[in-house]
Amino acid sequence: MTTSTSANPPDTLRIAVAQLNPTVGDVAGNLAKAREAREDARRHGAEIVLLTELFIAGYPPEDLVLKPAFLKACARAVEALAADTADGGPAVIIGYPRIEAEKRYNSVAVLDGGKIIATRDKVDLPNYGEFDEKRVFDIGEMPGPVALRGVRLGIPVCEDIWGDLGVCETLAESGAEILLVPNGSPYYRGKVDIRQQVVLRQVIESGLPMIFANQMGGQDELVFDGASFAMNADKSLAFQMSQFEDQVSVSTWKRGADGGWVCANGPMSVIPEREEADYRACMLGLRDYVNKNGFRNVVLGLSGGIDSAICAALAVDALGEERLRAVMLPYRYTSESSITDAEACARALGCRYDTVAIEDPVQGFLSTLGDMFEGTDEGITEENLQSRARGVILMAISNKFGSMVVTTGNKSEMSVGYATLYGDMNGGFNPIKDLYKLQVYALARWRNAHVPPGALGPSGEVIPVNIIDKAPSAELRPDQTDQDSLPPYEALDDILECLVEHEMAVEDIVARGHDLATVHRIEHLLYIAEYKRRQSAPGVKITRKNFGRDRRYPITNRFRDRD
């Protein structure tokens, strides 16, 4: 392979996109992944390897960027990777946090010929939703193109193509021929279509083809889904990489008669439909949270209900049957059908299944509190003792065997506070935290009919149909169902989505056909449960507005929409 000069520009360019799964803070591990990707790209004849935003640090590094030692480690790793390029193999474009004159930048380094030949800094720093980059980074200068292998490349960084600062247009006016964009764009439902619309707008405005390289993997609440792609200058899809999979793919670009570049060939993967995408996001988020944080295995309470059943399926699919311990924790109100259903679910998944009755600990609590509670009516307090006894037992198993507790509350419950602090909210991670109840049911039905790529669990019906068909219940008192105190989930989930995702006014929600008093009650429950959500385990972001990073409401809050 020879390096072209501007006097003899190439007519063909092979560009590898590496959508990989870095770990925040694992600088040495991320460097190793970058080197492996470069070798893979070399074997396939690539001349340039494009990695993703802040790859060497892992994304998002958040306040790690404030540590000088961390920045030095990242710089040394980039310099080591630059030295590798002295071998005449592919050039590398890689993201890293850069410090200069006491300013910190979200940067990319261009590596070739054994050195860093250029750096470019992110101009448009996002400060919304899950992003808080203005907290830790300084704004970069408007970039110009980088001459690499005889081609003038524009390298805007992620938000630089999402905002309206004109970064792509400036690069085009400065002579860029192709736009290569490293991204850290996390998943939410429908995000692939939104990215393509963003790229389409920039392609139209700049008149240049664009390669969108996106990170893959889970990082705390965020899941990065890959799905890297490119768009030709004529607005056609040039290539599409897979979603939720590590991948290094090479595309071939040819210079046309007009001097512009067109993708001659590249991968064309199919993007999953909604339920599959959501399920795979939950599975990937759980897998990476457990593995990246060093947990050997997980434990959860398997109640015979839909939420714990789908969490069990996700755990087996993500980690394997040998790494899940499911525990049935029955009390006097636990129905025989729930015991039967839980056992059937565990058997279908092939995981370990234990039974630990909670009658003795609950009665112990009631006896201990007997004098204090004398003369009062039984109610929610006594019901919550059941949940808290279960939580204590699961945490004891966690402590004894080093298993992370998977908590199983869905977004509908978390919204209205129908979860018990220090009880069923106990746990290290919640894979369905951002799924409303009806979405949980939809994913359960989907999983019974499909095995997602990369899943370690079995095919066939892994969630017994009886769990899906029966009325949901916490079973904390005789004949209890969720709809004793909540509207049907068809109504509840719609009201919640209006309030949480869309911030709609009460009158507009009522106009959709909902009862005014019900909407007021759900709004009130949503607000007063904020203190519980602040103490809940992290969980996979699936919607555009999850609880936590995306929705930062005050705990002390007397506002109610009564106009």
| pLDDT for the residue 477 | 58
Statement: residue 2 has pLDDT above 50: no
Query: Could you report the per-residue pLDDT of 197-245, keeping only the tens digit for each?
Result: 999 999 999 999 999 999 999 999 999 999 999 999 999 999 999 999 9
* CATH level 3 topology of 12-262: Nitrilase/N-carbamoyl-D-aminoacid amidohydrolase (3.60.110)
The DSSP string of 318-333 is HH-GGGEEEEE---TT
Beta-strand runs (E) in 379-441: 403-405
Multiple choice CATH, 275-481, 3.50.50.60, 3.90.79.10, 3.20.20.30, 3.40.50.620: 3.40.50.620
SS3 of residue 174 by DSSP = coil
CA distance 287 to 226: 16
Residue ranges of the chain assigned to CATH 3.60.110.10: 12-262
Statement: residue 551 has pLDDT above 60: yes
| Burial tier of 492 (Cβ tally within 10 Å: 0-12, 13-18, 19+) | buried
Mean pLDDT for 334-340 is 91
Mean pLDDT for 360-381 is 92
Mean pLDDT for 410-428 is 93
For the chain, the distance separating the N- and C-terminal CA atoms, rounded to the nearest angstrom, is: 71
What is the DSSP-derived secondary structure letter of residue 62? Answer: G
| pLDDT for the residue 103 | 95
Which residue, 436, 541, 545, 542, is CA-closest to 495?
436
| pLDDT for the residue 1 | 37
Mean pLDDT is highest, among 97-106, 129-138, 543-552, for 97-106
- Mean of pLDDT over the chain: 93
Q: Which of 354-358, 494-498, 550-554 has the lowest mean pLDDT?
A: 550-554
Which residue, 451, 142, 390, 89, is CA-closest to 81?
89
Backbone phi and psi for residue 15, each to the nearest 5 degrees, phi listed first: -115, 125
Apex 85 CA angle, 81 and 89, nearest 5 = 130
Q: Considering 33, 47, 74, 158, which one is annotated as catalytic? A: 158
Helix then strand then coil, % of the chain, to nearest 5: 40, 20, 40
Query: Could you report the per-residue pLDDT of 177-189, keeping only the tens digit for each?
Result: 999 999 999 999 9
| pLDDT for the residue 233 | 95
| Max intra-chain CA distance, the chain | 94
| pLDDT for the residue 341 | 94
Query: Could you report the per-residue pLDDT of 440-496, keeping only the tens digit for each?
Result: 999 999 999 999 999 999 999 999 999 999 876 665 656 656 666 788 999 999 999
CA distance 211 to 46: 15
Which residue, 42, 365, 24, 482, is CA-closest to 218?
24
217 within 8 A of 21, measured Cβ to Cβ: yes
Which residue, 383, 387, 408, 389, is CA-closest to 326?
408
Tokens of 519: 């909407």
**Residue 217 is inside which H or E element, if any?**
strand 216-219
117 within 8 A of 130, measured Cβ to Cβ: no
| pLDDT for the residue 4 | 43
307 within 8 A of 408, measured Cβ to Cβ: yes
Statement: residue 196 has pLDDT above 60: yes
As a whole-number percent, the residues of the chain with pLDDT over 70 amount to 96
Mean pLDDT for 133-154 is 93
Query: Could you report the per-residue pLDDT of 30-88, keeping only the tens digit for each?
Result: 999 999 999 999 999 999 999 999 999 999 999 999 999 999 999 999 999 999 999 99
Tokens of 437: 């109840």
Dihedral Cα 95, 291, 434, 420, nearest 10 deg = -140
53 is catalytic: yes
Q: Considering 53, 177, 221, 276, which one is annotated as catalytic? A: 53
Higher pLDDT, 329 or 6: 329
Q: Considering 33, 47, 122, 292, which one is annotated as catalytic? A: 122
* Beta-bridge partner residues of 355: 328
Mean pLDDT is highest, among 84-88, 133-137, 330-334, for 84-88
Helix 437-449 vs helix 489-500: crossing angle, to nearest 10: 110
The DSSP string of 502-524 is S---HHHHHTTT--HHHHHHHHH
Residue ranges of the chain assigned to CATH 3.40.50.620: 275-481
